[in-house]
Amino acid sequence: MRQSDPQQNDGEMEKWGNEIFNTPAPQHSNTPIMAATRARRGLRSRYAFALYEVLLGVAIFAIGVIALGRAVQNCINASTISAEENVVRQILSDRMAQVQAATAVPEAEKEFKLKTSYGRMTLTQKTIPAALTEPDNTLINGINLVTLTAHWEHAGVPQSRQIQFYVFRSS
């Protein structure tokens, strides 16, 4: 039976929805059927709101996880680059110590191919006489400028670091 259909109630005619007389239907009823229907509607709307909240929460959580993942990836890349540069710095420092400890004049040009845990590296050593002069324009002999250059690739991009220092060898 529809709400707008008339009902018999102890011989009286009762109409719930009044399409004919344009009077509003009763808003609140003491009958348990109407209370249960009203409660069900309230629950449905609360469930829909809860689902909407859950979907919004999951979307915010997903965006946060993606952002966190990118941040972690950037940290790992930065750590890798830092460790790689520390290895290069150590290689340059070791070669500089070898050149300074040697008793002979460093070679004019020399190239080393090195294999590191980060891939292949080329270390180039170039030595030129340093044209240093005293304040009275006298040339200082026996001082050489040594340039060490390391070349390698990181993620397909060429990288290089260079160090220069002076070495004195009396002739």
Question: Is residue 112 pLDDT above 60, yes or no?
Answer: yes
Q: Say how many CA atoms lie within 13 Å of 73 toward its Cβ.
A: 6
Top-confidence residue, 22 or 151:
151
- pLDDT score recorded for residue 50: 78
DSSP reduced 3-state for 76: helix
Helix (H) or strand (E) holding 109, with range, is: strand 109-116
Question: Is residue 16 pLDDT above 80, yes or no?
Answer: no
Q: What is the rounded CA–CA span in Å between residue 137 and residue 64?
A: 67
Question: Between vectors from CA 150 to CA 91 and to CA 104, what angle results, nearest 5°?
Answer: 65
Mean pLDDT check: name the lowest of 32-46, 83-97, 122-136, 157-171. 32-46
Question: Is residue 17 pLDDT above 70, yes or no?
Answer: no
- pLDDT score recorded for residue 49: 63
Place of tokens 């309230």: 42
Question: Is residue 158 pLDDT above 90, yes or no?
Answer: yes
Top-confidence residue, 54 or 4:
54
Using DSSP bridges, classify how beta strands 119-129 and 143-154 pair: parallel, antiparallel or unpaired: antiparallel
Q: What is the rounded CA–CA span in Å between residue 64 and residue 73?
A: 14
pLDDT in tens, 74-110: 999 999 989 999 999 999 999 999 999 998 889 999 9
- What is the band of 48 on the pLDDT scale with cuts at 50, 70, 90? low
| Mean pLDDT for the stretch of residues 130-138 | 89
